[in-house]
Structure 1
Amino acid sequence: MPRARRNAPTRQPRLAPAGPTAWAGLALRVLDSAEARGLPRRILLEASGLERARLTEPEARVSLLAVYTLLEEAAARLGDGCFGLHMGASLRVEDFDALGFLMVSSRTLGDALEHVLRYQRLWSEGERFTLEREAGRVTVTYHPYGPERPAHRLMAQLVFADLVLNGGRLVGGLPGARLRLRGSRPAEASVYARVLGIPVSFRAPQDVLEMPAALLASPLPGADAGLSGVLARATDRMLAGLPASSRVADQVRALLPELLPESGADLAHLAARLRMSPRTLQRRLRDEGTSLDTEREAFRRQQACVLLEADTPIAEVAWRLGYSAPSAFHHAFRRWTGQSPREWRMEGEVAASPRTVVLPPRPPRSRP
């Protein structure tokens, strides 16, 4: 009798990762770091449920929770509670592809950090970084995703090792910087200071890197305004290609360019556009580790630099960012940078020319 023909297996469609996603290159960097220390990739891939082929696809995204599992498995199997710290110390800015090169080509360290804030969804959709300045100091805060788990400390180790060591290499060190981390003091606490070269303390309410605000003005040796503009356009396209986020903070950021000139993007107008009550909007933002004031301030600070670099008149910059008068914008900008908008712009003209800048869309002007 003829042998029955076996049906060919049906190729199943590839499903998008559930929940928040992360750049697949991050998972690859974890695998590379673990393999360099003798831990086979196969073990970590099986533990996380990730596919090797999927990780190498262009612009691939993977589950952020799977990346968390990779970090936890690598640390546990290697017996290294500082795995994220050691991994971050081995990375270079260029390991982060287009975003890394965008940072290297930025005008100053502050501009590079602003790019991190603007494009942080490319790194991870669930996690967030915020930057605040007060009394001559600047803080970069890392906000992890989800309920507390060991991966949160490992990821904090990784991101701050990258910021401290790569940032320090770009500007010749970060004198006066210090790191404060959540959680109890670990047995290997001395490793932190030895690897990072800055004071590290624990039992803090948040994971925070603090440094003198003057360091933000440090020029970068690879500054290239033309290249930075090209990379920013490419990175903007990558950001636009991500699925719409369900996070309220991301929805607020998307509305700020439109609502700031119209109403200053106040709580009532934003809540109405998002079809929720002001109280609900405040609660949802608080649950995501942020607030309307934080989001509005971060957007204004980042866009102010973009608009000023494009030689936009200062009065128009103030209007587009929702300030009632140019004097209010001057006061805010000096608080952020220690300089007036005109001083900051003149310094940039000396440092880099010609300049290519990506502008946000100009909103319709509805008030004088």
Structure 2
Amino acid sequence: MLTLRRQAFNFRNRLFDPREPSLPFPTNPQTVIAAAGRRLEEFARLQGVDLAPLAQSVGIDVAELSRSDLRINLDAFMRLFHLLEIVSGDDCIGLRYALHFRQGDSGAFGFAILHAPTLREGLRIYQTYQRMVADNAHFDMVEEKDDVTIRWRYTRLIDYPDQYTDFRAALLVKVIRGFLGPGWRPRAVALLRPRPRSTVLHRDYFGPGVSFQTASLNTLSIPASALDTPSGNDDPRLFEMMEAACRAALDAIDRSRDLRLQVTEQILALLPWGEANLPRVAASLAMGERSLQRRLGELDTNFETLVEETRRDLSDRLLGTSTPLSEISYLCGYSNASAYSRAARGWYGVSPQTMRQRLRGHTT
């Protein structure tokens, strides 16, 4: 522990040494509602950490973190969690912050869920309007006879997602506990993040069924019979008002953002699932298939072209890393490595292995 704290102290000194270059500012255009960090400064202070210089190093003004009408860069927010982990020496910091967070801190989104008539309706609100809170997460539910599996993931274009993954997973459990009781724990939780040094906090909060990096998605399982559990806070009129506010807020977000970018984000999230198709993306954007194709046509493109461009761009980026080719194939939405290799030859004129060697030689 002493060594870890010394490393954190040294890192902190280096981070804010004016002779050292600052961390590169993220360029990813995806955003998160600023109020997701509403209690982060107070929480960091309780951990003995001054949040302001950490936030400044990634381009975030802590004074803006209390605003529910403002969005900030998602990559920067995840980097801020990562810095908190390093400086505090706590690789469970995202989960601890979730315990400090209140559901109403996310505005109309949180209040709509809080006053939903049943858990099923609460999860529908979560699925339909979660883009109000953050871009880049694809969320869906697979309902079977006895179980419901909730699935979500972030694209590989986001750096340092581990603490944010814990944070969002814990908030989802909080949502469900609002209907099933404070002692409820999921049947199983799979988190797409490295196993922490100690799993005590995770097992205490998520239950003994929590696992780490054992699946390609973040997943959480609940009994199907629980979906119709009524809420103790059911208020039909307030629920209707809050959902209307969510709908208006999401419409405003979509109007302010380029449709091509929105479609590309959904494709990136769905490629690893093999579900980057027009019906799924149109449904995620609350649009009809014909309407989506028509609007893309007005931008001189189409859905199939965007899928191909997104695959190529993702391949370009990942070939410059140490990511195994088998994983690149999966992330780009190909059923096997041979299919990816054929596509890569079409893009580059050479195999992906040769292209990787060329990229490394160019970097050198």
The TM-score, its normalising length taken from structure 2, stands at 0.65
Structure 2 unaligned residues grouped into runs of 5+: 1-26, 268-280, 315-329, 334-364
Mapped partners of 1:78, 1:160: distance in 2: 21
Partner of 2:232: 221
Matched ranges for 1:163-242 at <5 A: 163-172=172-181, 173-174=183-184, 177-202=187-212, 203-242=214-253
Mapped partners of 1:283, 1:165: distance in 2: 38
Asked whether the equivalents of residues 75 and 82 of structure 1 are also in contact (C-alpha less than 8 Å), the reply is yes
Look up the SS of the partner of 1:139 in the other structure: strand
1:58 to partner: Cα distance: 5.3
Partner of 1:306: none
Mapped partners of 1:108, 1:19: distance in 2: 35
Mapped partners of 2:34, 2:231: distance in 1: 28
Alignment deviations for residues 153-192 of structure 1 (CA, whole Å, 9 cap, x no partner): 2112111111223422432254652101224433212321
Partner of 1:95: 105
- 2:169 matches 1:154: no
- 2:183 matches 1:142: no
1:120 to 130, 143, 148: 130
1:210 to partner: Cα distance: 1.2
The one-letter amino acid paired with 1:119 is: Y
Partner of 1:132: 142
- Residues 256/159 of structure 1: CA separation in 2 closer, same or farther (3 Å cut): closer
Mapped partners of 1:233, 1:30: distance in 2: 28
Mapped partners of 2:65, 2:286: distance in 1: 34
- Residues 221/255 of structure 1: CA separation in 2 closer, same or farther (3 Å cut): closer
Number of equivalenced pairs: 266
Matched ranges for 1:240-319 at <5 A: 240-242=251-253, 243-245=256-258, 246-248=261-263, 249=266, 252-253=282-283, 257-259=287-289, 271=293, 274-275=296-297, 276=301, 279-280=304-305
Alignment deviations for residues 175-221 of structure 1 (CA, whole Å, 9 cap, x no partner): 65210122443321232102333521122221111111111111110
Look up the SS of the partner of 1:247 in the other structure: helix
Asked whether the equivalents of residues 143 and 289 of structure 1 are also in contact (C-alpha less than 8 Å), the reply is no
The one-letter amino acid paired with 1:88 is: A
1:42 to partner: Cα distance: 1.8
The one-letter amino acid paired with 2:125 is: H
Alignment deviations for residues 105-145 of structure 1 (CA, whole Å, 9 cap, x no partner): 00111111111111111111122322221232111222114
- Residues 48/115 of structure 1: CA separation in 2 closer, same or farther (3 Å cut): same
1:55 to 55, 58, 65: 65
CA RMSD of aligned residues (A): 3.0
Mapped partners of 1:180, 1:201: distance in 2: 5
Asked whether the equivalents of residues 23 and 122 of structure 1 are also in contact (C-alpha less than 8 Å), the reply is yes
- Residues 26/256 of structure 1: CA separation in 2 closer, same or farther (3 Å cut): closer
Larger Rg: 1
1:55 to partner: Cα distance: 3.4
- Residues 192/255 of structure 1: CA separation in 2 closer, same or farther (3 Å cut): closer
Mapped partners of 2:104, 2:215: distance in 1: 31
Mapped partners of 1:257, 1:60: distance in 2: 25
- Residues 113/213 of structure 1: CA separation in 2 closer, same or farther (3 Å cut): same
Look up the SS of the partner of 2:161 in the other structure: helix
Partner of 1:44: 54
Mapped partners of 2:283, 2:32: distance in 1: 19
Amino-acid identity (%): 24
1:231 to partner: Cα distance: 0.9
- 2:49 matches 1:19: no
Asked whether the equivalents of residues 143 and 207 of structure 1 are also in contact (C-alpha less than 8 Å), the reply is yes
Mapped partners of 2:179, 2:332: distance in 1: 30
Asked whether the equivalents of residues 115 and 236 of structure 2 are also in contact (C-alpha less than 8 Å), the reply is yes
Structure 1 unaligned residues grouped into runs of 5+: 1-16, 260-264, 292-368
Partner of 2:343: none
The one-letter amino acid paired with 2:29 is: G
Look up the SS of the partner of 1:241 in the other structure: helix
Asked whether the equivalents of residues 30 and 71 of structure 1 are also in contact (C-alpha less than 8 Å), the reply is no
Mapped partners of 1:198, 1:182: distance in 2: 16
Bigger shift: 27-36 or 38-47? 27-36
- Residues 144/29 of structure 1: CA separation in 2 closer, same or farther (3 Å cut): farther
Mapped partners of 1:177, 1:285: distance in 2: 35
Bigger shift: 72-81 or 202-211? 202-211
Mapped partners of 1:254, 1:212: distance in 2: 25
The TM-score, its normalising length taken from structure 1, stands at 0.64
The one-letter amino acid paired with 1:212 is: P
Mapped partners of 1:80, 1:55: distance in 2: 22
The one-letter amino acid paired with 2:39 is: R
Mapped partners of 2:96, 2:194: distance in 1: 20
